[in-house]
Amino acid sequence: MGTEVRELLKKVFFVLGFGFLTCLTISYKAWFALSIFPKANVFPYEIPYYVFQSFSVLLIFLVFVQPFWFANRLIYRLILLTLVILFLFDFGLIQPWAWMYFIFIWASSLFAKYYFKYKDLSPILAVLKVLMAFIYIFSGIFKFNPNFEEIALPYILMPATNYLWQYKDWIISAFSIAPFVEIALGVSLLFNSISMYSKFGLIAMHLFVLLMIGPLGLNHNMVVWPWNLQMIFLLWFLFPMKLEKASLFPFWNLLFKRPFKYIVYVSIALFGLGFTPYGNPYMAFDLYSGGILYKSIAFNKADVKLMPSYIDIYTEAYGDSIYVNYYNWSAKETQLPPCPMAICDTLYKRKIKEIIQ
């Protein structure tokens, strides 16, 4: 059992590494500080490009070699440290896929030394399965907000409703059960007896998302493609049919057995933190309410002395005000949505004001 699961874990870490590197490649302007879009950092001075680039190169190297030495705790710790430094340099880098990768690597770093110590590695596999389940449970919970059905869902379904316009209301109404379905499928991943079936429902969900918001649909942000494909492969490898028929280490035992119970407890805390105003806001209410899709910063026309052409295409004038849509600006320039935290709004407004005045 240990050898079989060890080979499976190698595949999982290859998928994680490849998915993360692909996302990073698509949004390379943000990670290498090559974008003209302002960075969201609280430092009173600009971080030199070569600092961003040095840490980004180091991160790429560590993520690339990690699957080959996945029992080396030092590599995990260096990846975590490098990610934290880059996150501090620019809050906009704390994307959902980057945050989930951070949690996976954090959990893996704690039990790396057990890869060759335990004869049965199914507890380690169970930890990663728990993390996968929480991704869907929490994202489903935070779709329960007033704007998901009114703003976010109609936007996502536009490729279908524009074509089948006469059934628009029916289609949106039918997909309004998405939060319930996602939570149910996420919870079912915690049970070995039914997880082999629920994974197909989640894979179908990811394929549908790719169809709606990928290049064949809205084509708003290419980074969603590798993220969704990565989740499909993780579901396929973490919940294989033949291993599910075996007597795998039950999730519930992880709550009481060391060292795994500590990994599970802290992982739950990290996920919870990510869904609060004090954690990663990309995974919280704003992401699913559609609020971050239409944010703009307002300036008085009389105060605007200079409007560079690279900003002008993202501005609209109404009355005495000029609105800069920094969401579209970031999505186009960096292939990443900007940080929606209140502190980021303040930073963006201050930095954009310096550019146009």
Q: What is the pLDDT of residues 255-312, one digit of tens each?
A: 666 666 777 777 667 666 665 555 554 545 555 555 555 568 888 888 777 788 888 8
What residues contact 315, with CB distance under 8 A and at least 6 apart? 307, 322, 323, 324, 325
pLDDT at 305: 77
Rounded Cα distance, 230 and 19, in Å: 5
**E-state strands within the chain:** 297-300, 315-318, 321-324
Render pLDDT for 137-154 as a digit per residue (tens, 0 to 9): 888 887 887 778 887 888
Which portions of the chain are predicted below pLDDT 70? 1-3, 110-111, 113-121, 241-260, 267-268, 270-295
Q: DSSP secondary-structure letter at 315?
A: E
Tokens 């809050």: give the residue: 91
> Taking the alpha carbons of 302, 306, 308, 309 in that order, is the dihedral positive or negative?
positive
pTM listed for this prediction: 0.83
pLDDT at 259: 64
pLDDT at 28: 94
pLDDT at 336: 86
Contact assessment for residue 123 and residue 249, using Cβ atoms and an 8 Å cutoff? yes
Rounded Cα distance, 343 and 339, in Å: 9
Q: Where are the alpha helices (DSSP H) in the chain?
A: 2-26, 28-31, 49-65, 73-89, 96-111, 122-141, 153-156, 158-163, 168-175, 178-188, 192-213, 224-238, 241-244, 260-274, 285-289, 309-312, 326-334, 342-356
Tokens 């197909």: give the residue: 200
Q: For residue 316, which phi and psi values (nearest 5 degrees)? A: -140, 145
Using DSSP, state whether 213 is helix, strand or coil: helix
Using DSSP, state whether 235 is helix, strand or coil: helix
Which among 112, 98, 14 is positioned nearest to 56, based on CA atoms?
98
Contact assessment for residue 102 and residue 83, using Cβ atoms and an 8 Å cutoff? yes
